[in-house]
Amino acid sequence: MWGGRFSAQPSDIMRMINASVGFDQRLARQDIQGSKAHATMLAAQGIITQDDRDAILSGLDAILAEIEAGAFDFSDELEDIHLNVEARLKERIGDAGGRLHTGRSRNDQVATDFRLWVREQLDWMDTLIARLMRALLDQADAHADTIMPGFTHLQSAQPVTFGHHMLAYLEMFARDRGRFADCRARMNESPLGAAALAGTPYPIDRDATAAALGFDRPMANSLDAVSARDFALEAMAAATICATHLSRLSEEIVIWTSAQFRFVALSDAFTTGSSIMPQKRNPDAAELVRAKVGRITGSLTALTIVMKGLPLAYSKDMQEDKEPVFEAFDALDLSLQAMAGMVADMVPNERRLAEAAGAAFSTATDLADWLVMRLNMPFRDAHHVTGRIVAMAEREGVTLDALSLEQMQSVELGITEAVFDVLTPLASATSRTSYGGTSPERVREQVARWRATLS
């Protein structure tokens, strides 16, 4: 492609380090999409003829068909997807193929292709996250009044409902969905027409190519257009946060399915066995999703370090931008699909959840609140009285609601029979009626809100 300047072939090692077609061939469809928009604009501006345009469009369609059929011969000597397509186009249609590159550079071409690919991934992530949110919503709906222990420090804290727990993750993934949407809106500008770095003397119409490719507008600065990769960094930052949420939910599934917890069960569809221990059912899907955040975060870190010291405009370092992005979104795609499957598949053990919800004096805060509301006791005093009653129950080896009224009155004479109305896990959860609280009433309200939103 640059034989006019160079008289000798590059060394084998130069070809190896320089070639990117082994991975950037994933951009073939976006490359052809961008080239068709560019050719159409060139003809509309009178820069190439209508006949050349028609030949280019027909040739590009044929090349895409070859690629999709697996019949395209990719060449490392042609370095990347862009030169491979261009060379094949010239083979098919002759001189008209050489006119396609008028008014553009590989710099703006690859930036455009990459933006198109990332934008499609953001749209697909939106679809996958919505699917996961619906699975969480179904579980929340079915278990709005299923009692389970809520934890702080992984210690039993207060009873909550399983539906409330599911809705917490739904809210997290809703924010992830919002981050991807924000990223998409910010990146939806077209680099095409910026050429190598300074623009072009040809009378191109950048608004036309931007509109043809679904961008909101052309990028306003040609230097920025070819050198910016913050759209990819932002997309991977959002992916990393989403993967972190997936990892947290995966960790809970791993804990919940253990023999020690037995909070939920997963079917054969999302578990594996052991090669030596026939009794085992391992939550391998959850463990693998939990691990993917490392791969995704690593990809974000890799591209950040590639970009951190680059002067404007384009440097060959930026060839290293695609593999980490491809890897990150492949991992997130698989993780979101696996998690949606697991959430839909898991069956809560309601009896075991209820039993655990009542353990470790989880209604102690309810007792303290009762003392404040019924006896007008300062909360710190109520906290002290409750602590003494908990210590009594611990010595007796019973739950708070199993203590007698007389035993509690030996600590605080003002306690009445009415205290027992708040000492069961169900009563505790039902009483938490503040907005965003865990009561079944509030959970059902949130379920209805999200049903309307996701529909």
Residues marked as catalytic: 153, 274
Give the Cβ contact number of residue 35 at 10 Å: 26
Are the C-beta atoms of 308 and 272 separated by less than 8 Å?
A: no
Are the C-beta atoms of 190 and 219 separated by less than 8 Å?
A: yes
Spatial distance between the Cα atoms of 391 and 306, rounded to a whole number of angstroms = 58
79: alpha, beta or left? (left if phi > 0; alpha if psi -120 to 50): left
Do the strands 217-218 and 189-190 form a parallel or antiparallel pair, or are they unpaired? parallel
Residue with tokens 């699975």: 135
Cis ω on the peptide bond leading into residue 232 (within 30° of 0)?
no
Strands (E), 136-266: 147-152, 155-161, 189-190, 217-218, 264-265
Spatial distance between the Cα atoms of 286 and 269, rounded to a whole number of angstroms = 12
Residue with tokens 């679904």: 214
H or E stretch covering 348? strand 347-348
